[in-house]
Amino acid sequence: MRHVMFGLLAMGMLTTQQAQAQLQCLTPDQRAAVQIAALRSELMVLATGCHDDDNYNAFIRKYQADLVGNEKAIGEMLQHRYGRRAQQEHDRFTTEMANDESSAGMRLGGDFCAHNGMIFTEVLALSNASDLAAYAAGKDLVPSTLDMCPEETKAPVRKVATTAAAKHH
């Protein structure tokens, strides 16, 4: 049992490391925008799956101006990165996050609402939008499959010489 728990913990740490790596090229403001978008997506899926529209609507009303600004920041970031493909990439970005949250909900099954229900209480208890950004960052909701860094900004992978290749030198 200890080996299973250790394996799950290691997988969780790897997923968190992957999630951090896919945001490495972003500025702190861009990273916060992506994390807030992931939080909004989580809350939307939670509201839909758990029939909690009232809390979702309260969240939207409380942070409406900030969420509109956040969506604009995401759009500008994608416009800068993808040019004419920005809207297509924005749609992909939004869909990928919602699909990831829905998949997590399906894996949890009947426990999804109970497991995530407190998130509305926590978010609605925050005092302002700057607290929202810190909260979103702490929740680690950005899917590890969402890669926001174009290939040219990633660190090059060092190739290690194989034993056979090393013998020839």
Q: What pLDDT does residue 129 have? A: 83
In a domain, 2, yes or no: no
Give the structural domain span for 123: 27-142
Is the distance from CB of 43 to CB of 31 less than 8 angstroms?
no
Q: What percent of the chain has pLDDT over 90?
A: 38
* Domain-embedded: residue 21: no
Reported as a single tens digit per residue, the pLDDT across 22-45 is 677 889 999 999 999 999 998 998
Instruction: Give residue 109's pLDDT.
Output: 65
Name the domain count of the chain: 1
Question: Is residue 47 included in any domain, yes or no?
Answer: yes
pLDDT in tens, the chain (169 residues): 444 334 433 444 434 444 455 677 889 999 999 999 999 998 998 898 888 899 999 999 999 999 999 999 999 999 988 899 999 988 988 888 888 777 766 666 667 787 777 899 999 999 988 899 999 999 888 887 777 776 544 444 444 444 444 444 4
DSSP 8-state assignment for residue 153: G
**156 in any annotated domain:** no
pTM for the full predicted model: 0.73
Give DSSP secondary structure letters for 2-67: HHHHHHHHHHHHHHHHHHHHTTTTS-HHHHHHHHHHHHHHHHHHHHHHHT-HHHHHHHHHHHHHHH
In a domain, 85, yes or no: yes
d(CA 111, CA 103): 13
- Cα–Cα dist 23/147, whole Å: 7
Half-sphere exposure of 41 (CA within 13 A, CB side): 27
CB–CB of 17/138 below 8 Å? no
Residue with structure tokens 């992931």? 38
Contacts of 169 (CB under 8 A, 6+ apart): 161
What pLDDT, on a 0 to 100 scale, did the predictor assign at position 97?
81
**Does any domain span residue 121?**
yes
Q: What local confidence, expressed as pLDDT, does residue 130 receive?
A: 85
User: Is position 33 within any domain?
Assistant: yes
- The pLDDT value given to residue 68: 96
Q: What is the pLDDT of residue 161?
A: 45
Whole-number pLDDT of residue 113:
81
pLDDT at 165: 46
| Cα distance between residue 122 and residue 108, in whole Å | 20
Contact 73, 81 (CB under 8 A): no
CB count within 10 Å of CB 15 equals: 13
